[in-house]
Amino acid sequence: MPHRISPRVLVLLALLTLVWGTNWPLFSYATREVSVWTFRAITLLAAGAVLLGVAHVRGLSLVVPRGQRLTLVAAAVTYLVVWNIASTYSALMIPSGQAALLGFTMPLWAALITWAMFGEKLSGRLLLAMALGAVGVGLLMWRSREAYAQAPLGVALGLLSGVGWAVGTLILKKRAVDVPVMVLAGWQIVVAAVPITIGALWLGDHQWFMPSATSVAVIAYIALVPMCIGNMTWFSIVGLLPANVAGLSSILIPVVAMFAGALVHREPLGPLQWAAMLCCVSSLALALLKPAPTPRAAE
């Protein structure tokens, strides 16, 4: 990697961290009147339709090359479908914030998979970054260790969501889909919406009613901002950074979620959380900021 990260990447990282990090405290408001399955189905369908609609208005082709359609579907299923289903069930079994933290172990899985399956070497800096990221997430999870012991399946599903996210990201890195980012995000969300909508019809509310204005506003915000803008930003980052480094770029999101939870739900924010934040920031700095090479002496 170059020793300087382009300003565009830094802006995308900041945007993704803010959009996805502040998203988690809103889930409790979005699911007060509708089931988690219904909530997920509505946000996916709405986000996919908006992205593809905007892309069409902007004159972008919505056609995915025939030879790349299977790649798009495979990435959508392993990332968005596995993430939404596994993280949803995990959140039903253990505290939802802790389920989110388990899902954000994705950077560790991405780095391990690239090493084990593709033979990519992990530098000392990246290994140290992974270790610091693991420590940071572990510190955030430590407080709810008793809940994990009582619901091991919830822990397994939370980790599975992170694995699915990592595999979907690696699929796109190894076999790129040659369409604009907005089209790529829109089609992936639409593909993921199909099985989740079927799940909502089977496991959802089984009744028709109009939620309150607050619920509608929160669900609309999540569909338009975290789902639309967040996923477009993520796929842009995936296209600009190596897969393992792109994964580490998400390590700060649980930290922002922690601050958002403290502000919205008055969740604890003490020395343990501050130590976790320091580890996560250090991890991201090691992964992204490589020292400039020492100039060679003139001969």
Higher pLDDT: 92 or 68? It is 68
Query: How confident is the model at residue 49, as a pLDDT?
Result: 95
Distance, CA of 157 to CA of 92 (rounded, Å): 10
Residue 105: partners with Cβ closer than 8 Å, 6 or more residues away: 134, 137, 159, 162
Which tens digit of pLDDT belongs to each residue from 274-294?
777 677 777 766 766 655 454
DSSP tag of 211? -
CA 164, distance to chain mean position in Å, is 10
Pairwise pLDDT comparison (253 vs 147), residue with the higher score: 253
Each residue's pLDDT tens digit, 182-200: 999 999 999 999 999 998 8
Query: How is the chain split among helix, strand and coil, in percent rounded to 5?
Result: 75, 0, 25
How far apart CA 235 and CA 7 sit, in angstroms, is 17
Predicted pLDDT at 221: 94
Task: Spell out the residues 6+ positions from residue 101 whose beta carbon is closer than 8 angstroms to its own.
Answer: 137, 140, 141, 158, 254
> Which residue's entry shows tokens 């369409």?
179
Report whether 93 contacts 157 (CB < 8 A).
yes
Residue 4 above 60 pLDDT? no
Residue 175 contacts residue 65 (beta carbons within 8 Å): no
Handedness of CA 114, 116, 118, 120 (dihedral sign): positive
pLDDT band at 247 (very low <50, low <70, confident <90, very high): low
Q: What pLDDT, on the 0 to 100 scale, is given for residue 69?
A: 93
Tens of pLDDT, residue by residue over 98-125, are 676 777 777 778 878 887 777 777 777 7
- The average pLDDT across 66-71 equals 92
Q: Tell me: the pLDDT tens digits for 146-167? A: 666 667 788 788 889 889 988 9
**Nearest-angstrom CA–CA distance, 24 and 26:** 5
**C-beta of residue 12 within 8 angstroms of C-beta of residue 233:** yes
**For 48-68, what is the mean pLDDT?**
94
Residue 63 has pLDDT above 90, yes or no: yes
pTM for the full predicted model? 0.78
- Over residues 198-213, the pLDDT tens digits come to 988 887 767 777 888 9
The closest of 199, 186, 216, 195 to 38, measured between CA atoms, is: 199
> What pLDDT does 60 receive?
94
Between CA 143 and CA 150 the distance in angstroms is 14
Confidence band for 18, pLDDT divided at 50, 70 and 90: confident
Digit-coded pLDDT (tens) for 132-146: 877 877 776 676 666
Q: How confident is the model at residue 297 (pLDDT cuts 50, 70, 90)?
A: very low
Residue 59 backbone dihedrals phi, psi, to 5 degrees? 85, 15
Query: Are the C-beta atoms of 234 and 21 separated by less than 8 Å?
Result: no
Task: Return the ∠ at Cα 48 (arms to 82 and 191), rounded to 5°.
Answer: 45
| d(C-alpha 8, C-alpha 30), whole Å | 32
Q: Given a cut of 90, is residue 61 above it in pLDDT?
A: yes
Q: What is the mean pLDDT of the chain?
A: 80
Q: Would you state the pLDDT for residue 224?
A: 93
Task: Please report the pLDDT score of residue 3 as a whole number.
Answer: 43
Whether 7 has a pLDDT exceeding 70, the answer reads yes
Mean pLDDT to the nearest integer, 269-273: 70
- What are the Cα distances from residue 282, in Å, to 97, 128, 138? 22, 9, 15
